[in-house]
Structure 1
Amino acid sequence: MISYRSIAVQIAPGDVVAMLESSPRPAAIRFEPVGEPDPAAPWRKVGKATQLVAAETGIGVAEIVGDRRYQRLVRARAAVAWVARKTSDRTLHQIARALGRTDHTTVRQMLRKAEQLRAADPAFRAMTDRVADFVSAGVAS
């Protein structure tokens, strides 16, 4: 779908090139995706990462987004933050909100923790890589 001013026309990609080449000057063309965008789509990767880390660790999703600070929960949150950052275009603040946190600095600390754990613990590295691969490939959707 191509919109030019108030006119919307469905044309093939090859037609755009022909139209631009035949035009004496480039037209102001705005490309828009066909169909309605899904407003929840950006959050799916963060949610799927949380679900997959919960399944991998045996910890409930409610515990991961909860307030407790047990070491196993901190590790799970760090894994979710790392996977969410690597596989989505969400900001630190948005990831924090998805994890029930109020501040982006919490996620920044989680990312530091995840990098430390990935360097020191091969099992943690393998788990985060596996979850990131599933989320990136869309297998988890």
Structure 2
Amino acid sequence: MDASDSMRINRALNKTSKLYRAAKARKLAELGLHPGQDVLLWLLAQQPEGMTVSELAARVGIEPPTATRSLARLESGGWFRREPVATDRRQVRIVVTAAGHKLIPSIERAWSELAEQAMGGVSAQQRDITIAVLEQANERLRGLVDESVLAEE
């Protein structure tokens, strides 16, 4: 790959990353969320019995203290409750409340709208190629970084 192509790729990926994050932040702000909180809440909502902070952190690829801080910021929305774990008094299960479950369709709609806005106007074939190329790039890059870098998405 020549230097010109390398520069174009770097610029495009950097700009896409920044613009996507900013657009996502605006959409989520309408719901009272910050980027990353949507993923935590969505993952928790997929588990009717809830998850411990450690389980959630492992699922997202972050450290438990990071998950704890993120949950503390989310807690004011009343979107989940903490329940003691009977077998380990040091742990709690995070269980999504009815208010949290009610928010999930809005999160999914925000994701869908953002995807449409980002990819709208391209053919299904172009979209499939774009997704495949980005997934391949993610796989190659995953080997170069600590998995916790992926925590927010």
Q: TM-score range by the shorter chain?
A: 0.3 to 0.5
Higher relative contact order (CA 8 A, sep 6+): 2
Q: Rg bigger for which structure? A: 1
Structure 1 length-normalised TM: 0.35
Structure 2 length-normalised TM: 0.33
Q: Which has the higher helix share?
A: 2
Q: Which has the higher strand share?
A: 2
